[in-house]
Structures are given as C-alpha cells and as structure tokens.
Structure 1
Amino acid sequence: MSNEPYLVNLALKLADGLEKRSPESLEKHRSFILAQQQPDGGFTGREGDSDLYYTGFAVRSLGILGGVEKQEAAAISQFLRQFQLETLSTIDLLSWLYCALIVQASGGEDLLATAPENWNARILQNLERLRTTDGGYAKSEQGALGSTYHSFLVVLIYQLIGLDVPAPNDLIQFLYDRQRDDGGFVEISPMKRSGTNPTAAAVATLNILNSMDEELKGDVYDFLKQVKSTEGGFQANTRIPFADGLSTFTGLLTARDLGLSSLIDPEQILKFMTEWLEFPTGGFRGASWDEQADVEYTFYGLGVLALLATWPDS
C-alpha cells in the first residue's frame, strides 16, 4: 500500500493547481463557502443544519484555496467536538478525520489528543463489521453486498488512522470482480452498466493497493471515452445524456492518475465548467439544469479547475 494518505496527496495536487489561477477568480468561491458556515462551526448543504458530510467538503475546499484561518479552524473544532468517533457512519467518520487533520495542520487543536489509547483499534473493529463475503465493504452492517464506493472510503479511513487494510488481496479481487465488459466498474455486483464514479473509486483504490496494470488502464481508457459528453465534461454513465460536476471531476482525476492525457480536451472542459456550472457570484452547481450551488459541487468545480491548470501540455 502507498504510505502517503491519498486525500493528503490529492489536496496538495489541487492546491498547487489553484495557485496558478488568479486570486480574484477564486476569492468569490472562498466567500461562498464561508457563507455556508453555521453558528455551531459546521457547514450546511442546500438546506438544514450543519452536517459532517458538507463540512468535510467545505473544509477540503478551504484547504485547497490557501488554507483554513485559525479563527475558522477554532469554529470547525467546536463543531467536531460534538461527535463520538465510534458512532459515526463510514462517510461521516472520513469527513470527521479529514477535518480534524486540516484543523491541526492549520494551527488548531489536536482533536485526537484526548481520544482513548486504542481509538484506532476500535475503528478497525467497526469497519471490519462492514466487511462482506465478497471481499468488499458494505454501507452498513445490514448490507449483504460490498460497495465499490464504500470500500474506497474504508481504505481512505485506514490510511488516515495509520493502519493497513486487513486481507487486501480479498479487496483487490472484489474490485476486479466489479469490472464489466465496457471497461469500467460498477457499484455493486448485480449491476451491468459501469459508472464513472464507481470506476474512479475502483481505480483509486487499486492504485493505493498497487494493483493497477497496463491492461486495466486500457480498459478504463475505453470506458472513459464512452462517457465523454459533447458538453465537455463526463457523464455519470452512458445512459445519462448530460455531464455533471462530480463525474467530470472523477473522470478527469482518473485520466490524470492513469496518464490518459490524450483523452482530455482541457479547453472544452474548462468552458463547460466556467460557462455552465460556475456561478459568477461564487460556488458551482451540479449540472447545467441545476439552479443552486452547494459546497460539495464547489469542491468538485475547484478540483476540475485545479487539475486543468496543471494538465500536461495545457
């Protein structure tokens, strides 16, 4: 397994890309994100109270936009202290751990300093309860089938808590079994049609586990060609007739990580993002038909801008 946490490497890569963009073009997005912060220190989505999921995307966005200020870190810390690690779902646990890492890196408190000595062993036990007979990890203990996406999240958590994934070969085989004839990967075993996001999750996990090869790269190249949209971005799958911000980010990142730069027209993708998804006042929407921005899609939008800024031959 790779020693450096994937999310840390990705954040550094995206921050480097955004540094090549003008500060003026990015400040509106920082302002938009901070406007979603609530009095309890967390961040909200499009409605409702603070939420760990959206707080995670907000903090990741602030991190790649130049970092989190000490005052912001203190407020985020206040929000994170409300939660018990052992009770969190996989995705909320990942959000909490990454936010805590950013808070500490920004000069804030070490939120794990008061955790029990064996806190990461407890997390391991909780995660392994999600392990399924097919070798993957389910969304919940009630899940009978492994999920490509949730298996990816579990691997990211193991990296952040400094532990290796138990029985990695079983997980690798699980991912190989999720590949379909179109070259991509599916979310769960009964599915026949690959998706851009499960494919990205599978590729990232296989890269972390040092299990990608040239034949797989060629397969993924063939799949990504099928989900390239005439709009400029990537579609979620071949049946959805429009591109979206999430699929464009994950498709672009996958192409970058696998060295498939010939697949990408940077100017076309940039035009799609800035003309269709970016709001002049800050924030990004999910797709051209979407009417509202949120912090999750703003992270994806910023991620695309960052990747394009350092794209080979761009």
Structure 2
Amino acid sequence: MQSISANILDTLKSGKDQLGSEAIDHLSAFVQSQLLQDHSFMNKSGESDLYYTSFGWMLCLVLGIHLDTDKMTGYLSCQHEHDLDLIHYAAFKRCELILYMHKKGRALTWLKTRSKQHVKDLNDFKQVPHQDTRAPYTQFIWTSLLEDTGNKLTEKSKIEKDLEQYRHETGGFMNVSDGHTATTNATTAALAVLGQISQVKQEKAISYLNSMQDATGGYKAAPSAPVPDLLSTATALFALKSCNEKPDYPALEFIEAHWAESGGFIATLLDEKSDVEYCFYGLLALGSALSIS
C-alpha cells in the first residue's frame, strides 16, 4: 500500500503538471522568497521554522528548485531531535528523507527510508496535538512518521476502535473525545489513518465532508466557520481523492481565487499574506481536484 507521504507527493506532482511554465515560475519564485540563508524556511513571522521547512523542502523537490544539500544537512544537524514535540519530530524525520531524495535527485517517487529507523514511542513525547495520543490528528502524524521511517503500524484494530471514540453523530470526527462538533480536518485525518489500516468504506465520514463544502467549491473547517478556507479544502479534496470519491461541487475556481498576485496561496479571501505552508496546500488542492474531476 502506498504511504501517506507518497500519496501526497504524487498529488503535488499532479498539481504541478497541470501548470504552465509561467505559473510554475511564479509559484517557485514565491517559494524561494521564503527560503532563509541556512536553507530552512520561514514561518508567518519570518522566523526559521522546522515545520515550515518540511513543507518548503517538499515543494522544492516537486517544483525542481535547487537546494544546497550541505546547507540542508547543516540545518538538520542543529536540531535537537529528541527534545522535539511530535509534530516537529515528524517534520524532522520527513526532512531527513527529503534531504536524501534531494541528494539522489529523486523527485518522481517517494523513496522508502534507506533502512528502518528507531523512533520514540508515542507516549514518550512531552507534547502531542490536543495532548491526546489517540485523537485523529495525533494518529495521522504518528502514522505518517512510522511510514516515513520504515516502521510498521501495529495494533491496527485498537487504533480503529480508538478512533471511533472521536466520531460525532454526524459521521465526521472530532479531535477531542468529549467535543460537540465534528471538524473537516479531524475527519480527513481519521480518513487518512483508516485508509492505511482498513478496507471498510467510510461512507458516513465522506458524507460529512460533503456537507462541509459550499457552492463556491471550498470547504469550511467546521459548520460554524464564517468562510471556507484553503487548508480545509485541500485536506478534504485529498481525502476524497484517496477514497475514490468526488466532491459535490467543482473546486478549481475556489483554489484559483486563493492564488495571490505574490505567487503564493492564501488561507482565505480575508487574508492577504501567503506562506510556504499554504503554497503546499494550494498545490495539494489543485492536484486533488484535478485527479477527481
């Protein structure tokens, strides 16, 4: 079975392959504008950030942007990996693999890790999302981390049972077990994990995602959200593509409306500033939408 990261890379490539050379150059120029001297990528505040670097390095791999692998190696060597929280630890391990792929010039397929790597136990992290190791988003990060490091996901039936504790009556999922509302991103995280461990079609969760899309083609993060956003749209479309499902409304116009003049993508039409994370979501949304249209 294809890993989550491999699926993401293929989808990003699908998005890129639909762009003309001028559009690719425009997007690439923005991505490069977010690159710092040490070859890390900046966050929204303009500071070096390991989490954003994982997005930036993958985009460079897809877009064919040259990076100095010595600087990349130097940047990773300065990270205190054993002190990182789960999200940044997973980003670190993904960056290690992307660095290897940059060295090998491999951007067409997601490489399996060179050998199985030891990773910390999930319960050993000081911080995990929502401080809950069983929640959908935590399990999504954990599953991706295990796949990226050549480890196998164990206790699949337990994970599936645990995730059911976060399912809302609407069919969607929550990231807190005692929550009152399902969210798009908790649902897409659960779908990604379940897709790796179960062959059962998640019709209720898919139906919930469909209810989060409005006529513009965009998806809201939650029923109470004032407007749809690009992150929710990207993850929802990616989840539907992975489930071989189609959205109720075409999403290309929504995605294009969030491509700013700067060359980057914005979170919502209420935003003006882009960053490398949303460039990732924009290309992921584009590749997903084109794959299921």
TM-score (norm 2): 0.89
| CA distance 1:169–1:124, change in 2 (3 Å) | farther
Matched with 2:242 is 257
1:82: how far off? 0.7
Q: Matched residues in 1 for 2:289 and 2:50: separation? A: 28
- Range 287-296 or range 20-29, more displaced: 20-29
Written as runs of structure 1 = structure 2, the 5 A alignment for 1:240-251 is 240-251=225-236
| CA distance 1:59–1:264, change in 2 (3 Å) | farther
Matched with 2:108 is none
Q: Matched residues in 1 for 2:242 and 2:5: separation? A: 13
For residue 159 of structure 2, give the secondary structure of its aligned residue in structure 1: helix
- Contact conserved, 2:123 with 2:133, CA < 8 A, in 1? no
Asked whether 1:279 is paired with 2:263, we answer no
- Contact conserved, 2:135 with 2:166, CA < 8 A, in 1? no
Written as runs of structure 1 = structure 2, the 5 A alignment for 1:161-310 is 161-209=149-197, 211-214=198-201, 216=202, 218-261=203-246, 263-266=247-250, 269-275=251-257, 277-310=258-291
Matched with 1:120 is 117
Residues 21-59 of structure 1 show CA distances to partners (whole Å, capped at 9, x for unaligned) of 212112111111111111122110121421101111111
Q: Matched residues in 2 for 1:68 and 1:147: separation? A: 36
1:119: how far off? 9.1
- Range 79-88 or range 182-191, more displaced: 79-88
| CA distance 1:281–1:144, change in 2 (3 Å) | closer
| CA distance 1:295–1:14, change in 2 (3 Å) | same
Asked whether 1:11 is paired with 2:9, we answer yes
Q: Matched residues in 2 for 1:145 and 1:103: separation? A: 28
1:204: how far off? 0.3
Instruction: Letter of the 1:120 partner, please give it.
Output: Q
Residues 114-169 of structure 1 show CA distances to partners (whole Å, capped at 9, x for unaligned) of xxxx9933x233x23359xxxxxx717x9366321111101111111111234232
Residues 290-310 of structure 1 show CA distances to partners (whole Å, capped at 9, x for unaligned) of 121011111101111222233
- Contact conserved, 2:8 with 2:284, CA < 8 A, in 1? no
For residue 120 of structure 1, give the secondary structure of its aligned residue in structure 2: coil
1:255: how far off? 1.3
Q: Matched residues in 2 for 1:185 and 1:212: separation? A: 18
28, 31, 38: which is aligned to 1:30?
28
- Contact conserved, 1:73 with 1:108, CA < 8 A, in 2? no
- Contact conserved, 1:45 with 1:54, CA < 8 A, in 2? yes
Asked whether 1:106 is paired with 2:87, we answer no
- Contact conserved, 1:11 with 1:63, CA < 8 A, in 2? no
| CA distance 1:48–1:24, change in 2 (3 Å) | closer
- Range 96-105 or range 289-298, more displaced: 96-105
For residue 292 of structure 1, give the secondary structure of its aligned residue in structure 2: coil
Q: CA RMSD in A?
A: 2.4
Instruction: Letter of the 1:152 partner, please give it.
Output: F
Asked whether 1:149 is paired with 2:130, we answer no
- Contact conserved, 2:50 with 2:92, CA < 8 A, in 1? yes
Matched with 2:111 is none
Asked whether 1:129 is paired with 2:113, we answer no
- Contact conserved, 1:74 with 1:108, CA < 8 A, in 2? no
Q: Matched residues in 1 for 2:288 and 2:46: separation? A: 31
Segments of 5+ residues of structure 1 without an aligned counterpart are: 110-117, 132-137
Instruction: Letter of the 1:11 partner, please give it.
Output: L
- Contact conserved, 2:15 with 2:283, CA < 8 A, in 1? no
| CA distance 1:144–1:7, change in 2 (3 Å) | closer
Q: Matched residues in 2 for 1:76 and 1:49: separation? A: 16
- Give the fraction of aligned pairs with identical amino acids, expressed as a percent: 24
Larger RCO: 1 or 2 (CA < 8 Å, sep 6+)? 2
- Contact conserved, 2:183 with 2:222, CA < 8 A, in 1? yes
1:286: how far off? 0.6
1:68: how far off? 4.4
